[in-house]
Amino acid sequence: MAATPRHYAAALLLLLAAPLASGAGPDGAGDRSAATRQQPLRDEAERSTHSIVVGGRTLSYVAEAGVQVVNGRDPLDEPPAGADGPDASGSPAAQATLSYVAYFLGADADPHRPITFLFNGGPGSATIWLHLGSFGPKRVVTQDAVPTPPAQYRLVDNAYTLLPDSDLVFVDAPGTGFGLLRGEDREHAFFGVDPDARAFATFIVDFLSRHDRWNSPKYLFGESYGTVRAAVLANLLQSEYGVDLNGVMMLGQTLSYEVYSDWPQYNPGSNLTYALGLPTFAATAWYHHRLPAAPARLEPLLAEVEDFALGEYLTALAAGSRLAPERRAAIVARLHAYTGLAPDFIERANLRIASDVFEKHVLGELRTTGRVDARFAGPAIDALSRAAEYDPLAAAITSAYVSVFNDYVRAELHFGAGRSYKSGIDVERSWNFEHQPPGATFRVPQTLNAMPDLAAAMKKNPTLRVQVHGGYYDLATPYFQAVYEQRQLPVPPAIAANVEIRLYASGHMIYVHEPALGELAANVRDFIRRTHGGAAGR
């Protein structure tokens, strides 16, 4: 993990990304000669046939692993003169290859089957986590809430794959996976909210053409920053490419960075962050038996904490320095009851506890909870530090995912020989978080918020359905943030009814807890079955 306490949002980037090979950059410069780096990028793919048993039924399928070229341009810049040629300045036009693995049920692809495009987030994360953890035909086996021992790891047929209900395309972000970047100013062309979405839109449109899937029911499934990408992408596909989606699925949603859980101390006055994170603090403390008077069941507790968070707690925070001493004491007592943190600690934190501070201190100074999944815990690196220095969930499972995928893609999918696979790249410092929302004539100078994009897509396509998935133990993108964002979505009530929220006793990567994976798969299968016929299928 490259994440540090100071740059913990890179933990969404490096959600669980292993470090790059020494010297390797986003264009693969670490393992290719200068002459090779000047060669034009090209599409490449390998197809192979496989079968698995799901629910007692043998399913035959075709896998396609490869890379597909997309041409980069900033939506506010002039487009390049040609795909492979120079732009107006005479410099080579920016290009990328996005790497992917697609699965098609049966020997001959059905052009009318549903097709789902899935991606992780970061920004800067490849999609091995969703691929091998959730819905692909193969699943890596990891331990639950404890570290997974080193190799050999197990790859098994995935009983929870979505393949019976939808063909699947797992897409890696620009610069990750087997993807390469080329051309002048290539980071500017791909590393940002809008150019990243445009790269994915280009990929999807080209993929639909190459595989004759234009009349298939179409879905997006994004995790973490991938939920921002999904929201922007849904509107972009519809507005500029004429592609209406049947459904958008969000896992670990965070559309508004104004209420995002990282660095709230640098945004004083924005107290919603603390309120929306409190139910997850309560769930974590309940799970680890840190509450002074814990109820037998979690859900009633969370309902109580949610009411307190947006009621008395948020009102008290809004009062700031004018909060009366007696009210302050009452709030401290409630926070102690809901978090297990000592009253004097809560006082010293000025009633405002950041996620990374909570992770470090809820179990005492010697142990740290997971950020991405608070059920995990591990020894603190520094007992005296203010905040957590690493994520025990990442330490517990990263090697299993990275190792198994590198073996699987080469041995079974026959792609990637002689290439480096980048599970993640550090783009946090260079990522352009400015965004031009629907209706704006320029990139607005405010904190990133993709809610207008999702709302615009839903208004233009009133049959578009949205399914949001959240884990109670997710400290990276707290579930109550997603609930709040959906409540604030600027759409009429009839369209707001097209959103459904499903919550699980797991963390950000819901699928690492197998019982939750079973629930998640059942919910997604049901969603696709209910929506794949458009308005007629509702």
pLDDT digits (tens, 9 = 90+) for 510-521: 999 999 999 999
Are residue 417 and residue 503 in the same domain, yes or no? yes
At residue 428 the predicted structure's pLDDT band, cuts being 50, 70 and 90, is confident
387's CB contacts (< 8 A; 6+ apart) are 5, 8, 354, 356, 357, 359, 360
Question: Do residues 230 and 220 lie in contact, with contact meaning Cβ atoms separated by under 8 Å?
Answer: yes
Residue 54 forms beta bridges with which residues? 57
Is the confidence at residue 32, as pLDDT, over 90?
A: no
pLDDT tens for 442-495 read 787 778 899 999 999 999 999 999 999 999 999 999 999 999 999 999 999 999
Are residue 73 and residue 216 in the same domain, yes or no? yes
The whole-angstrom distance between residue 538's C-alpha and the CA centroid of its chain comes to: 27
Between CA 258 and CA 267 the distance in angstroms is 9
* Residue that is last in its domain, among 353, 375, 392: 392
- In total, the chain counts a number of residues equal to 538
Are residue 384 and residue 412 in the same domain, yes or no? no
At residue 78 the predicted structure's pLDDT band, cuts being 50, 70 and 90, is low
Q: What 3-state class would DSSP assign to 127?
A: coil
Are residue 248 and residue 297 in the same domain, yes or no? no
Q: What is the pLDDT of residue 92?
A: 60
Are residue 252 and residue 339 in the same domain, yes or no? no
Is the confidence at residue 269, as pLDDT, over 90?
A: no
Are residue 106 and residue 197 in the same domain, yes or no? yes
Is the confidence at residue 5, as pLDDT, over 50?
A: no
Are residue 418 and residue 495 in the same domain, yes or no? yes
Residue 144 forms beta bridges with which residues? none
Are residue 441 and residue 526 in the same domain, yes or no? yes
pLDDT tens for 150-193 read 999 999 999 999 999 999 999 999 999 999 999 888 888 899 99
Q: What are phi and psi of 231, to 5 degrees?
A: -65, -50
Q: What are phi and psi of 389, to 5 degrees?
A: -100, -15
Question: Do residues 376 and 368 lie in contact, with contact meaning Cβ atoms separated by under 8 Å?
Answer: no
Q: What 3-state class would DSSP assign to 369?
A: strand
Are residue 230 and residue 362 in the same domain, yes or no? no
Is the confidence at residue 61, as pLDDT, over 50?
A: yes
Chain position carrying tokens 């079973």: 518
Structure tokens at 394: 């990442």
Q: Which residue has the higher pLDDT, 535 or 233?
A: 233
Q: What 3-state class would DSSP assign to 22?
A: coil
Between CA 431 and CA 174 the distance in angstroms is 12
Are residue 269 and residue 253 in the same domain, yes or no? no
- Residue 363: which domain range? 264-392
Q: What 3-state class would DSSP assign to 101?
A: strand
Q: What are phi and psi of 433, to 5 degrees?
A: -85, 0
Are residue 198 and residue 153 in the same domain, yes or no? yes
CATH of the domain at 233: 3.40.50.1820
Between CA 519 and CA 14 the distance in angstroms is 26
156's CB contacts (< 8 A; 6+ apart) are 138, 139, 141
Q: For residue 12, which of 173, 203, 195 has the smallest C-alpha distance?
A: 173
Are residue 250 and residue 284 in the same domain, yes or no? no
* Residue that is last in its domain, among 364, 392, 420: 392
Q: What does the buried/exposed string (b/e) look like for 463-497 if buried means 16 or more CB atoms within 10 Å of the residue's CB? A: bbbbbbbbbbbbbbbbbbbbbbbbeebebeeebee
Is the confidence at residue 398, as pLDDT, over 60?
A: yes
Mean pLDDT of the chain: 88
The whole-angstrom distance between residue 491's C-alpha and the CA centroid of its chain comes to: 24
Is the confidence at residue 35, as pLDDT, over 70?
A: no
At residue 397 the predicted structure's pLDDT band, cuts being 50, 70 and 90, is very high
**What torsion do the CA atoms of 9, 14, 19, 22 make, to the nearest 10 degrees?**
-70
If you ran DSSP here, which 8-state letter would residue 299 be given?
Answer: H
470's CB contacts (< 8 A; 6+ apart) are 251, 252, 253, 477, 478, 479, 482, 483, 501, 502, 503, 504, 510
DSSP labels, 67-84: EEEEE---TTSPPPSSSS
483's CB contacts (< 8 A; 6+ apart) are 306, 470, 501
DSSP labels, 162-211: STTT-EEEEEPPTTSBT--EESTTHHHHHSBHHHHHHHHHHHHHHHHHHT
* Residue that is last in its domain, among 342, 376, 392: 392
Q: For residue 426, which of 74, 68, 125, 30 has the smallest C-alpha distance?
A: 125
Question: Do residues 314 and 275 lie in contact, with contact meaning Cβ atoms separated by under 8 Å?
Answer: yes
Q: What 3-state class would DSSP assign to 158?
A: coil
Q: From residue 307, how far is each of 341, 382, 476 by CA, in Å?
A: 20, 35, 21
The whole-angstrom distance between residue 221's C-alpha and the CA centroid of its chain comes to: 9
Specify the number of domains making up the chain.
Answer: 2
pLDDT tens for 205-239 read 999 999 999 999 999 999 999 999 999 999 999 99
Question: Do residues 271 and 314 lie in contact, with contact meaning Cβ atoms separated by under 8 Å?
Answer: yes
